[in-house]
Chain A
Amino acid sequence: MESIEGDAGNFQVTVRERPRYVDMDKCIACGICAERCPRKVKDEYNQGLAKRKAIYVQYAQAVPLKYVIDADHCIYFKKKGRCKACEKYCPSDAIDFTQKEKIHKIEVGSVILSTGFKSFDPRGYDVYGYGSLPNVITSMEFERILSASGPFQGHLQRPSDNEPPRKIAWLQCVGSRDLHTGCHEYCSGVCCMYAIKEAVIAREHAGGDLDTAIFFMDMRTHGKEFDRYYDRARDEAGVRFIRSRVHSIERAGPGSDDLQITYVDDGGELKEEIFNLVVLSTGLEISEEVRKLAQDLGIDLDLHGFAETSCFTPVVTSRPGVFVCGAFAGPKDIPQSVMEASAASSACAVLLADSRNSLTQEKTYPPEDPIIYEEPRIGVFVCHCGINIAGVVDVPAVRDYAETLPNVVYVADNLFSCSQDTQGLIRDAVKENRLNRVVVAACTPRTHEPLFQETIRDGGLNPYLFEFANIRDQDAWVHQKEPEKATEKAKDLVRMSVVKAALLEPIEPLLLGNRHKALVIGGGAAGMIAALDLADQGFKTFIVEQKEKLGGYAKYVRKTWKGEDGRAFLADLKERVRGHERIEVLLDTKISHVSGFVGNFTTTVTTGSAEQELEHGVIILAVGAKSLKPDEYLYGQSDLVMRWHELEKLFEKEPERLEQAEAVAFIQCVGSREPERPYCSKFCCTSSLQQAIDFKTRKPGLDVYVLYRDIRTYGQREELYRKARELGVIFIRYSLNEKPVVEETRINGKDKLKITVKDHILGIPLELQVDYLDLATAIIARGDEELAKMLKVPLNEDGFFLEAHMKLRPVDFATDGIFVCGMAHYPKPLEESIVQAKAAAARAASVLIKESVEVEPTVSVIDQEKCIGCGLCEACCPFGAIELIKVSGQGYRAENIQALCKGCGICAAACPQKAIDMKHFRDHQILAMIEAGGEGR
């Protein structure tokens, strides 16, 4: 990107496209060019551990899968006019050495910057010996070593001698939490988790006989289910966790490739241990290139090069209309990046709501040809997939075999069936040969079925008249040493697919109505933000809050960790919600019943004694969480013991209390990270440190103690930890089996508290006398079992709502049209709740903008004649997609709610009357496949 001119809603972006010297339309990614290219280059993707050619694809999953010439290394460009091997051998004439740099001018309304991060380079940081000791590698290099597509095909071995290591050490905080020049003072937030993952997976690869040790300062496993993973790694996988500061890494002896780590342990003792391989857990940083780009675009950066954002508007940059997401806005992991991505798209959608759909084009298909109802005329297309399939399976033989099968009237083999030109060939073949069923034998339906369905639709066929034979992922790739048997298997699979294809029937798409309204359950910050984003996009939104006022937990946030005024923000938020013409707030209201499905929900709510029904298309769950009231540390018994924001509030109301106090203490992890609640409440460390800094700044003479297990000021919040220590806040670590003891005492006629805690360095009990104690208690779920049941969405073991996918679908449920955000999902700071709320709004809007809801029509069909209304199907359906309806004179009959049905077929297998069948997976279709598969013995 060269420049962005203009203003929000009306930008002109200049983009420079570098030549790739390969015609994207012609390249079929067969790989012959790379095979023939004589120039070997270090493979950046494999961290330099392997070689690639000068013509290459960056990695196997690259989209689009097209080759590119690296002009910096290509012989043709280095020695003008020489070589051209790729051009000579390319079967599709795709090489084009004449390509020139192109400048594009693009008109857009908004811009999202998601430039990501660069891994910290430990070269030149001589303590670790990286670059000079061959068996000291970075975590990125180790990732590649573990990968099946990596330099050693997933075999665990070390670089110096390719021997499998027996002892591996991970060193945490390399380049992070480090004030040395060239390092970063922030915490990278993700390294603890990835190091544990690498250790666990390495042990799996090595088959258990591997010693793994992680050297760390604080273990920061603050995300959802992370602490459980940490516990399992330690207790079950046997990963050793060594709390320490590493002093140096050296060669274990002259001529040895092993490494000696010298470190200072928990008790201050100097120790040594020898390892075969050392992995540096390098942090995340922003590259010079991105910094320069930001400067050119006029985006403000913080001290560390991350885009400057506010906690209240986490995806908004300093330039209106330009948004940010992912690691460029601060170090973060995958789920948080995914949420931010959705949040940024929501911010764009709000900004551009007026022009929505003004540039969209609707795809049209030819009408479905009535030949689909005639005798089956099947076309079979067998794919070479370059050498992926053809290198093992005898593709022409499979093609010829297919021709002999009943109902097959057309066969072909293609180099790449998924390439654009082959798609055209398939479409034409359908038309010319009056095919009414198509079988493709290729990679896997899980990635490519939709593409081929689209292609035959273009050819005038119903998309369900298509069948896939998986001869790559489940054949050629897994029987590489048995080409003959793989070919036999391919023939069998093709025969089975052809038999099923002959029995396929067209299935009409299921289009259902859509109510373009949203229901947000919960009126805290997350709920209000989600509602505003939807209402600003033009959707009527209801907020249902069970309390008598809006605000939720956010009202306790006096200041964000960046120092912004939380109360002013909340007041403004409430104002905007109340004043919004498209938001209807229902306070003191409870959900009593929910029915329907995506696009068509009906929710009954009760306000006092009055009931009403709300009709809407989506639901956003933002019911929040609450903090634990503990029964330890004298909470509830002594007025001097408080929790969370209570102490802060007391000092605000009665400043003389702070004036008179001599010492205060915080205890962290009260009720969190315990066997009963094995999770981290995520923002308590940050919150306590904010208060500690505030008190210490206001009264420098005050003694402030923080009793902790691990300080988890992840990301840039690490700044607070540093500042607190600089101000003289005293940190004392305790362990779960030696918790601090709190007693009431009287000193000089004043009520005080005596806290006894074992100091982990001195190894002796310390006695602290303090005026007040503040407990950072666990954030716990509200107990939403009933609501979860009504909505048919799951809760995790800790009572928080469980999303569809922890990493990739962090705000969705498996049930369409229902989304989650805020602390109902997991404890989190305000800024992350806001991000997730905007993400939920984006996901919800993606449903609401559609004219109608299209659902997968491969659902169950119930033969009402055979059904006797026993209800077994209703009882066994995991999605609540079958209900019994009363038929006059016949009692009950089962009926399918198509929008909820996921097509699993459990009901069909369970029906005692055999009255249920599955579209596209019909009984007779499966039986025919079984029979066809068994043939040939």
Chain B
Amino acid sequence: MDMNKSFEPKILAFLCNWCAYAGADLAGVSRLQYPSTIRSIRVMCSGRVDPVYIIDGLRSGFDSVFVSG
């Protein structure tokens, strides 16, 4: 992995089913374009996200973790 401009971040996202996941769907319905960096996991509430998941995300090869509720 080199640090040059071609670096494509890979981001783990935890999205709350009722808020951010719905917001993300709406972004899709509205065809709003954004970077294809995130890989999301749907949870029923952002409160479900155990802090340990974040560490596991980093350990598994993600460059950062995005939690959105």
Direct contact between the two chains A and B in their complex (CB within 8 A): yes
Q: Which residues of A contact B (CB under 8 A)?
A: 148-149, 153-154, 444-446, 470, 472-475, 477-482, 485-486, 488-489, 492-493, 496, 858, 902-906, 908-910, 918, 921, 923, 926-927, 929-931, 933-937
Does B33 touch A at the CB level, under 8 Å?
Answer: yes
Docked complex Cα distance between A81 and B45 (Å): 57
Docked complex Cα distance between A72 and B62 (Å): 57
A908 with B48: in contact, given A473-B24, A492-B39, A937-B61 (CB under 8 Å)? yes
A921 touches B33 (CB 8 A): no
B30 touches A482 (CB 8 A): no
Residues of B within 8 A of A902 (CB): 44-45
B32 touches A478 (CB 8 A): yes
A909 with B47: in contact, given A477-B31, A478-B33, A934-B61 (CB under 8 Å)? yes
Distance to closest chain A CB from B55 (angstroms):
10
A482 touches B36 (CB 8 A): yes
B36 touches A905 (CB 8 A): no
A445 touches B42 (CB 8 A): yes
Q: Looking across the interface, which residue of chain A has its beta carbon closest to that of B28?
A: A473
B25 touches A444 (CB 8 A): yes
A933 with B27: in contact, given A902-B44, A909-B47 (CB under 8 Å)? no
Residues of A within 8 A of B33 (CB): 478-481
What is the interface size of chain B, counting residues whose CB is below 8 A from a CB of the partner?
A: 37
A474 with B31: in contact, given A904-B47, A926-B53, A931-B56 (CB under 8 Å)? no
Q: Looking across the interface, which residue of chain A has its beta carbon closest to that of B30?
A: A148
Q: Can you list 11 A-B contacts (CB < 8 A)?
A: A444-B25, A472-B28, A473-B29, A905-B47, A908-B50, A929-B41, A930-B12, A930-B41, A930-B57, A930-B60, A934-B60
Q: Looking across the interface, which residue of chain B has its beta carbon closest to that of A444?
A: B25
Residues of B within 8 A of A477 (CB): 28-29, 31
- The contact of A921 among B25, B34, B44, B51, by CB within 8 Å, is B44
Distance to closest chain B CB from A704 (angstroms):
52
Residues of B within 8 A of A446 (CB): 17, 21-22, 25
Q: Looking across the interface, which residue of chain B has its beta carbon closest to that of A474?
A: B24
Residues of B within 8 A of A485 (CB): 8, 36
B47 touches A474 (CB 8 A): no
B39 touches A909 (CB 8 A): no
B39 touches A933 (CB 8 A): yes
Distance to closest chain A CB from B26 (angstroms):
8
Residues of A within 8 A of B1 (CB): 937
B41 touches A496 (CB 8 A): yes
Docked complex Cα distance between A926 and B60 (Å): 13
A905 with B31: in contact, given A474-B24, A930-B60, A937-B61 (CB under 8 Å)? no
Q: Looking across the interface, which residue of chain A has its beta carbon closest to that of B29?
A: A473
Residues of A within 8 A of B51 (CB): 909
Residues of B within 8 A of A470 (CB): 25, 40, 42
B57 touches A934 (CB 8 A): yes
Residues of B within 8 A of A492 (CB): 39
Residues of A within 8 A of B32 (CB): 148, 478
Distance to closest chain A CB from B9 (angstroms):
11
Residues of B within 8 A of A910 (CB): 47
Residues of A within 8 A of B50 (CB): 908-909, 923
B57 touches A906 (CB 8 A): no
Given contact pairs A472-B28, A858-B44, a sample of 6 additional A-B residue pairs in the complex whose CB atoms are under 8 Å apart: A148-B29, A446-B25, A473-B25, A473-B27, A927-B53, A933-B39
Q: Looking across the interface, which residue of chain A has its beta carbon closest to that of B16?
A: A904
Q: Looking across the interface, which residue of chain A has its beta carbon closest to that of B59?
A: A934
A921 with B43: in contact, given A478-B27, A478-B34, A926-B53 (CB under 8 Å)? yes
Q: Looking across the interface, which residue of chain A has its beta carbon closest to that of B61?
A: A934
B36 touches A489 (CB 8 A): yes
A934 touches B28 (CB 8 A): no
Docked complex Cα distance between A488 and B47 (Å): 29
Distance to closest chain B CB from A50 (angstroms):
15
Docked complex Cα distance between A154 and B31 (Å): 10
B44 touches A905 (CB 8 A): yes
Docked complex Cα distance between A121 and B4 (Å): 60
A934 touches B12 (CB 8 A): yes
Residues of B within 8 A of A479 (CB): 33-34, 36
Q: Looking across the interface, which residue of chain A has its beta carbon closest to that of B17?
A: A446
Docked complex Cα distance between A496 and B17 (Å): 17
List 10 A-B pairs, minimum CB-CB distance, nearest first.
A934-B60, A905-B48, A473-B28, A934-B61, A904-B45, A906-B47, A148-B30, A477-B28, A485-B36, A937-B61
